[in-house]
Structure 1
Amino acid sequence: MNLNLDGRRVLITGGSKGMGAAVVALFREAGAKVLTTARARTAALPEELFIAADLTAPEGCATVADAVNARLGGVDIIVHVLGGSSAPGGGFAALGEAEWQRELDLNLFPAVRLDRALLPGMLAQGEGVIIHVTSIQRELPLPESTTAYAAAKAALSTYSKSLSKEVSPKGVRVVRVAPGWIETEASVALAERLALQAGTDYEGGKQIIMESLGGIPIGRPSKPAEVANLIAFLASPLAATITGAEYVIDGGTIPVV
């Protein structure tokens, strides 16, 4: 399928590994002009595609916005992949001020700051697409360990919904993608660690994670490339009338009627 992304100027945050790397690879394959950002570049990323920055700080977001304007002359598509959690287990009592702030700084504020910096250019050209990667945990938080992460992703989703109402009439589409468990490098390491603790193998570790989520009907996590496929379609002209919506890709983890 031709996604008609050839020549489109695209910023993808968190593109050095995992799902972000899969999104970068797919947009490049489709002919887009891609820039991506993370704290450090991996060997797989050509230097000319990369902006080194810490997006948890306002200064890092400003660095990326300046680089996008200087190197691409603006942007047509922004994909906010950056996110994650470093909060400890132990429920609400284990989450102090620092833990809450870190989750918001990683999962909410980079999108807000970069949108604020780059949206004026999109509005001036009368078109653009912004995709916010949220999480099914905004609906299915795990109280033992992801309360702050889930709350930050819920805030991102609400912000995205409001933004879509404001800028869609002006030509800029805003869409959310909510993945479930994705088999990235980090999740593989988690499954292996749980397997070691439980005295089982990697497949057993995956089962432990799936059970903690209440099960995944298709029997496996999503692959990074599968999530990238959805994101690329939503960013493309083929999805020209889709805005303000959230698309869940979780293998059926969250039951629907």
Structure 2
Amino acid sequence: MNMNNQQQTEQNLAGKIALVTGGTKGIGKAIAARLAAAGATVVITARNQPDDAELPYHFIEADLSLTKDVTRVAEEITAQFGGVDILINNMGANTFPGGGFSTLNDEHWDQAFQVNLFSSVRLDKALLPQMLARKSGVIIHISSTSGQFPIWESTMAYTSAKSALNAYSKALSDEVAPQGVRVVTVSPGLNKTEAMSYFLNDLAKKAGISVEEMTQNLFNRLGGIPLGRMADPVETAELVYFLVSPKASYITGANYHIDGGNYPVVR
């Protein structure tokens, strides 16, 4: 059975409410589509309206680096849906200057942690009580392989925040597992997304080389990718779908790397 047929026939998320943050583009968009295909009612958030106005999801415009927007999102979801069964904390950004410590100021560091760590912490805190009351629910934190494989010249602030997210996710999973809520981290490697395209174009422009050369340089800097390519976001979404499904009912506290074999050590 191919993947498309599986998506059409497996409705094991029917009746579930899923929130996917950063759900209008890239990995988040692919996750939202996969959960909807499995029968979930999907809510998405992003800072801007989706390019595709026909997306069949409930959309909430919000900047989750702001406490007030996290509160507003949680209140709207609670009022309309009574809470969520699945929370995908996918928001994140690596939009901070490259070049190492000397290029990063306090504002850069603060924004990196607001977007990549504290947005998840606050949203979890707002929506977890309803999960705990039902003694069921799944939270997925979308991290990055860079959280354990820092590249100082281009991702110092981002990778520091993602590393903190990994530690927080593990601690939270230990706290809430006895009460029936699973918490799992997914760490994608390089995914072929718009954000990655912008990132590579910016690096290439600064280095005065082609995007193709910069892409190969990045592969080399990471030590190579055995599968020889970036992931399609759909592939990452498929892992997330499995982890929130009943098939993964005994999985919590883990950090799943999906990186084409890039991570260089046994783990």
Both structures adopt the same fold (TM-score exceeding 0.5): yes
Aligned residues: 256
Match of 1:73 in 2: 82
2:104 is aligned with 1:112: no
With 222-231 and 181-190 compared, the bigger mean Cα shift is at 181-190
CA contact (8 A) 1:13 1:79 kept: yes
Deviates more, 1:168-177 or 1:143-152: 143-152
Q: 1:40 to 1:234 in 2, by over 3 A?
A: same
Deviation at 1:177, TM superposition (A): 0.2
Distance 2:31 2:56 in 1: 17
Is the Cα–Cα contact under 8 Å of residues 11 and 37 in structure 2 kept in the other structure? Answer: no
Instruction: Establish whether residue 183 from structure 1 lines up as the match of residue 192 from structure 2.
Output: yes
1:194, distance to aligned residue in structure 2 (A): 5.2
Shift of 1:220: 0.5
Q: 3-state DSSP class of the match of 1:54?
A: coil
* Pair 1:151-2:160 in alignment: yes
- Find the counterpart in structure 1 of residue 260 from structure 2: 251
- Note the 1:219-230 alignment, pairs <5 A: 219-230=228-239
Counterpart code for 2:176: V
Q: Could you tell me how far 1:253 is from its partner in structure 2? A: 1.2
Q: Which residue of 1 aligns with 2:12?
A: 4
SS of the equivalent of 2:42 reads strand
CA contact (8 A) 2:24 2:51 kept: no
Return the alpha-carbon distance in structure 1 between the equivalents of residues 187 and 166 of structure 2.
9
Counting aligned pairs with the same residue, the percent is: 47
Measured against aligned partners, the alpha-carbon deviations of 1:28-75 in whole angstroms (never above 9, x if no partner) come to 111100001011111325485100111001001001101111121111
Work out whether 1:30 is the aligned partner of 2:5.
Answer: no
Question: Is 1:57 aligned to residue 66 of structure 2?
Answer: yes
Check conservation: 2:137, 2:182, Cα contact below 8 A. yes
Are residue 129 (structure 1) and residue 138 (structure 2) matched?
yes
* Aligned pairs (5 A) from 1:164-203: 164-192=173-201, 199-200=209-210, 203=212
Contiguous gaps of at least 5 residues in structure 2: 1-5
**Partner SS for 2:153:** coil
Pick aligned residue for 1:44 from 30, 42, 52:
52
Contact between 2:84 and 2:131, CA under 8 Å: does it hold in 1? yes
The answer to whether the Cα contact below 8 Å between 1:3 and 1:238 also exists between their aligned partners in 2 is no
Q: Distance in 1 between matches of 2:39 and 2:190?
A: 29
In 2: Cα distance, 1:81 partner to 1:125 partner: 24
CA-atom RMSD in angstroms: 1.7
1:213 paired to 2:212: no
Q: Deviations over 1:189-228 (max 9, x none)?
A: 334455666554x544431221222211110111110000
Structure 1 residue identity aligned to 2:36: R
Q: Distance in 1 between matches of 2:193 and 2:65?
A: 21
1:205 and 1:88 map into 2 onto residues whose CA distance is 17
TM-score by length of 1: 0.94
Give the aligned partner of residue 98 of structure 2. 89
What 5-or-longer segments of structure 1 have no aligned partner? none
Give CA-to-partner distance per residue, 1:126-152, whole Å, 9 cap, x none: 100000011111111110121111110
- SS of equivalent to 2:218: helix
TM-score normalised by length of structure 2: 0.91
